[in-house]
Structure 1
């Protein structure tokens, strides 16, 4: 493992109850004496030297235990959602040149990582949930390392040769409020009631019961507007419904691959099945192996089950009272929340519930009909077993490590909060200040990644990536923060872009400049102020000392300008005297400018150090999209 250098590093554990425990680190041979509590628990701090090693620490409560291969260096907490969780060689598609990166990792044994297990809890925990313990970087272990964290550490090590310990505390698809303490969240009205309900004894069962009620209400609300429903009955699920004009589709397949491009929302599927005489009146089991995203399934017009999980096998019981000999109808209404959708994975079949040898294959031709597009659908309730509940991840995965001495935090998260970007302007600084208070480090460095360019097709319709990036930009107002802009290294159709090397490098450059005192440019241009002269807006930037640059072309792209009517027009922009001058023939009296204000923009403003400018807006208008 790695312990933080030049500090009083906390260590804790269990030993013989009531005994004297002697702890001796090999770097100074100082013997620490601790009285073990009656419950067997103990905790102390040991003085650590400047970086180096490897060292040993011995523990003796009458029985000797020695930990070896301990390095003294810098410990960084690496947290966030899937883009920080994404590993070097697998999970979410891997990274660029991953095979070569795995080979090269053998040179970095001074980088170590521990993975905190993904857990939630309703009360703050003390025991650290470890998925796997401290691992030394090599060509095997690095495969499971967080890629961003590893490349961050590698850059710092290449420059400073300081051992780096990485606490991998990540969970894909999670929201910021789940990582924030209840005491902090109670200051925000939208989270206060939930936190108080937990303190009042709310249980997981209570949440699940309420979730099932919410799902039922959500399905009923969809039924009210669904053309497949009439007079509170699933008309499109009835055997005698006339579906002769419906098109055909061979299942399993994503419906985009069957010619239904750019359609998200609900789609009904129907298939007539001939039931043998000896099956009549018997319970059956309908097996639908994979559906993207949710479904409600029917047999002879009656609902037999619904599932609100992505690509999760469905095994629905068909009550015998619905089963008759001869023709029966299976209908499935699929809800696709973005990206690919449909009944996409087989096998598909129906069988006698008590005898799997009696099976009818349902793969092949079905008929289908579009119903409600995504913009006509309400968002479904949050999954009952989801970690995305306020403070539950914090309780299980952050609170237990608060005693561990760390150098700072790197954070990559935000995509899951993009449908509440305005809220994030308060929530994200709250999280940062909360962690600083709880770690008892008011100046704790907190460096984060601004979410990358992406077309956001699998996000909720309300997702607002430009505003989320703007909320992240505003967090730089907090001291001891830094932001790695990645608006130029995302992938339009991949929410997990593979160039994690550059993400880690940009984070490391911030740390090298701010914490290791290297004289280097660590940020791209950040909007500072605007000056309006006639029909032009003149923009000034910080972090432009190395010069503003138009990368790739002579002219600047992705600038927009508006007058008092708040109607934005594509603008002409150029660099003059290390400022950006913006204008448009469509706007004679400009008021505001926005830059890279799309989910997947193509702006090209950089500084001389090759770092991109952050997207920004000069106005404070809300609910305006280009």
Structure 2
């Protein structure tokens, strides 16, 4: 007979809400349905499992990797929660059995490995099969060769609401030619590289919505505290773009899964916030802090894709948002950024090359979370400009072994004098620095690089990663 370990019951489920379609052990007991056959559990952690049942009933969980069962009693508010210690990653399938009142439900083909949340708007949502007339570069070939039982995805069904939900839909699926077409492309390429390098099972939880603003992904409590002047409507039924309404996507698509053990999150969003770039760093910080709280207080990293260049109506357009995203990565803890200056498309806001996006995010995770500190994962980052003799000498951090333009001319540089009028400038790599000059600007006081809505980046670190667009000025009115 198995020995029983009693665990401390947490009586509130504010951070660990139920999903709908819950699996029933009996008529009264429910298990959050992110817990399903084929799931991947985060290795070497205390992984929560939770649900609802009649108060006072005993819930028992047994797992195939340890002898002892884990028990708790259902709290007065009808919620129950247990913490399962997970072993190291393994390709061996495991089982989890939840029992109550003599009945049980067993989850089979469970793997222990690495788990990441993938969230954002349409560029994260974009599946491996692409959108209509917007394919994924190399997507068909990748789908055909994707069979891998150790790479799995749970896609949260799209929904929006003003109230925090105990419901979501979705199922765990292994990568295969029959399933991968529907996987998030950025998330798939991220997970594929992690799985290849780490040689462990990898699971991704995909929760994104095209056209969504970052405000929609922030919980109500955090949003109203940090942004009290931004109104939240009482009814979204008449809202033309519901995905822009604060809190609605957190409520329906994050809250139900909050608490499922993960290593971290990747984030590809920002196009919907181009016109509100000033607030973006604060909103990202509010989201990150709130998600941390809802996951039980243990902070996890969120690595973001910088949005790619695109021809917005404002010619500087997303350059300001890209700058805001760089600020996040440079100033906020547990963040990192994948620069996509070389993947943008002038007339398509959804770059076809999602492999670059996913793998650059994976570089960050491998270097910072998985013991590969010597893996280059960031390009040089602009620090300051020095002006002398009619030239601007640009100083960078994280220069590594220097710069390259892959044999092509450096383009996209501009200089301005005291009149604040920018003119095209020439640039050269000189002794590990960038020197910029323009015959039209004899006394420069400001420099910009690739600071346009759509532009093709020309400057790279010698590690092959593109340098972000940047500016030395703070002239937001100069576009």
Give the one of 144, 162, 181 matched to 1:103. 144
Cα distance in 2 for residues equivalent to 1:614 and 1:413: 16
Residue 297 of structure 1 aligns with which residue? none
SS at match of 1:475: helix
1:31 aligns with 2:69: yes
- Distance (Å, rounded) in 2 between the aligned partners of 1:192 and 1:505: 39
Indicate yes or no: 2:380 matched with 1:522. Answer: no
Q: Distance in 1 between matches of 2:226 and 2:56?
A: 44
Matched, 1:66 2:106: yes
The alignment status of 1:116 with 2:116, answered yes or no, reads: no
Contact residue 76 and residue 406 of structure 1 kept, 8 A:
yes
- Two-structure CA RMSD over aligned residues (Å): 1.9
Distance 2:67 2:144 in 1: 37
Matched, 1:203 2:229: no
Q: Is the 8 A contact 1:420 1:463 kept in 2?
A: no
TM superposition shift of 1:30: 2.2
Residue 305 of structure 2 aligns with which residue?
449
Of 569, 575, 582, which residue of structure 1 is paired with 2:429?
575
Q: 1:79 aligns with which of 119, 128, 146?
A: 119
- In structure 2, the partner of 1:415 is 271
List gaps (5 residues or longer) in structure 2: 1-38
Note if contact 1:418-1:463 (Cα within 8 Å) is conserved in structure 2: no
TM-score by length of 2: 0.87
CA apart distance, 1:515: 0.5
Hey, what's the Cα distance between the residues in 2 that align with 1:48 and 1:151? 26
CA distance in 1: counterparts of 2:89 and 2:412, whole angstroms: 46
Q: Secondary structure at the match of 1:194?
A: coil
The structural deviation recorded for 1:115 is 1.1
Higher strand share: 1
Query: What's the counterpart of residue 276 of structure 1?
Result: none
Compared CA separation, residues 56 and 442, structure 1 to 2 (3 A):
closer
Pairing partner for 2:129 from 79, 85, 89 = 89
Aligned 8 A contact 2:44 2:85 in 1:
yes
Q: Please show how residues 174-573 of structure 1 align to structure 2 within 5 Å.
A: 174-189=212-227, 192-195=229-232, 202-204=234-236, 208=238, 383=240, 386-441=242-297, 443-456=299-312, 464-476=317-329, 477-518=331-372, 519-553=374-408, 555-573=409-427
| Contact 2:259-2:294 within 8 A present in 1 as well | no
- The one-character-per-residue Cα deviations of 1:583-607 (angstroms, maximum 9, x if unpaired) are 1111122111110011111231101
1:604 partnered with 2:474? no
Please list every run of at least 4 consecutive aligned residues from structure 1 whose deviation after the TM superposition is greater than 4 angstroms.
37-40
1:167 aligns with 2:205: yes
Question: Counterpart of 1:599 in 2: which secondary structure?
Answer: coil
Q: Hey, what's the Cα distance between the residues in 2 that align with 1:166 and 1:549?
A: 34
3-state DSSP of counterpart to 1:622: coil
**Structure 1 stretches lacking a partner, 5+ long:** 209-381
d(CA) in 1 for partners of 2:94 and 2:365? 26
- Conserved? CA contact 2:156–2:206, under 8 Å: yes
Query: Structure 1 38/478 Cα, relative in aligned 2: closer, same or farther at 3 Å?
Result: closer
Report SS of the residue matched to 2:371. Answer: coil
Distance change (3 Å), C-alpha of 1:187 and 1:18: closer
Cα separation, 2, equivalents of 1:186 and 1:59: 38
Q: State how far apart, in whole Å, the 1-side matches of 2:418 and 2:168 are.
A: 54
Could you state the TM-score of these two structures normalised by the residue count of structure 1?
0.67
